[in-house]
Structure 1
Amino acid sequence: MTADVADRVVLFSGHMIDAPGRPVERFPARLVPRIARAIGDELDVTGAGCADIGLCGAACGSDLLFAVAALERHMTLRIHLPFDETAFIERSVAIGGERWVELYRRVSETATCIVADDVLGPLPPGADPFTRNNLLMLSEARRIGARAFTFVCVWDGQPGDGPGGTEHLASAVRAAHGEVRIIDIRAFADAPRA
């Protein structure tokens, strides 16, 4: 990857839409409009715009909502995939339904797509692709010459369902002394329905 300069880098991670049959709700589909607004509001608070770069994954739910909000603000968007696109769509996008696959396609037409295997080579035995992808995004965020670096996340503050989730990236950003801005999804889940 070449050296970049931006006014601000916004790194993002957040919960996926709940898969059908998830035993405990975390991000039910009914919260999508509220979470989308909250992400947009957070970008507005940070002053994100056309001189800025957004980095995120592209799973159904928070990632794609951030991607849309970043593109609406004319940010340069780079989506990072832990492995090849076909497998990623099947594993992390299609489980939310066709609407999310269509949204992924629209976003990926405008964004730069970075596949971890293309940058880092094949995944070593025993390594987790999502953890590696988080660290790649953080490395890129720190490498970019920017006036400000912010990590925004949609998170319930709890450990994830597996390795390499939002908790992992939030911990890695804190360890690197980055700013962490949390959109606490629990506040939306507990609020009365609109």
Structure 2
Amino acid sequence: MTADVADQVVLFSGHMIDAPGRPIERFPARLAPRVAQAIGDELDAIRVGRTDIGLCGAACGSDLLFAVAALERHMTLRIHLPFDERAFIELSVAIGGERWVELYRHVTQSAACIVADDVLGPLPPGADPFTRNNLLMLSEARRIGARAFTFVCVWDGQPGDGPGGTAHLAGAVRAAHGQVRIIDIRALANEPGA
């Protein structure tokens, strides 16, 4: 990866759209417009623009909403995938429906895509690809020479459904003494009309 310089680097993680049949709602599709607005508001609050770099995944839901908001604000966007694109789309994008696949295609046309296997080699036996991808993004964020490093996340404050989720990356950023800005999806869900 390149040794870049940016005014600020924004690392992002957030919940996926709830898969069909999820027993307890976390990010129902009806909240997507509110989450998109909240992400945009966070980016505006930290005054991102052309001299800034955004790093994120590309799962349906928060990741892709961040990617759109970053591109709308003319940030340089780098999307990190834990494994090959075809498998990633099937596992982490298409479950949200065709709209999310189209959005994935749209944002990846304007962003650099980094596949963890291409940077780090094959996944070691027993390792989790999502955890490894989180740590790769954090490593890149810290390596970029920037005035500020901020982690923005859409999170319910709870442990994830599996390894390598938003909770993991929030903990890793805190351990590295990074600034964490949480968009509380529970608060968005409790707003009138949600």
TM range (shorter): over 0.9
Partner of residue 154, structure 1: 154
Q: By how many angstroms is 1:65 displaced?
A: 0.1
Whole-angstrom distance in 2 between the partners of 1:143 and 1:135: 12
Sequence identity (%): 87
Q: Could you give the per-residue CA deviations for residues 87-146 of structure 1, whole angstroms, max 9, x where no partner exists?
A: 000000000000000000000000000000000000000000000000000000000000
TM-score scaled by structure 1?
0.99
- Offset of 1:190 from its aligned partner? 1.2
Structure-2 residue corresponding to 1:66:
66
3-state SS in 1 of match to 2:54: strand
Q: Which residue of the partner structure matches residue 145 of structure 1?
A: 145
Structure 1 runs (4+) greater than 6 angstroms displaced = none
Cα distance in 2 between the residues matched to 1:34 and 1:47: 20
What's the TM-score, normalizing by structure 2? 0.99
**Which residue number corresponds to residue 178 of structure 1?**
178
Residue 41 of structure 1 aligns to a residue in which SS? Answer: helix
Alignment of 1:114-129 (within 5 A): 114-129=114-129
Give the alignment of 1:1-194 within 5 angstroms. 1-193=1-193
Q: How many residues align?
A: 194
Q: Offset at 1:189? A: 0.9
Cα deviation for residue 4 of structure 1 reads 0.3
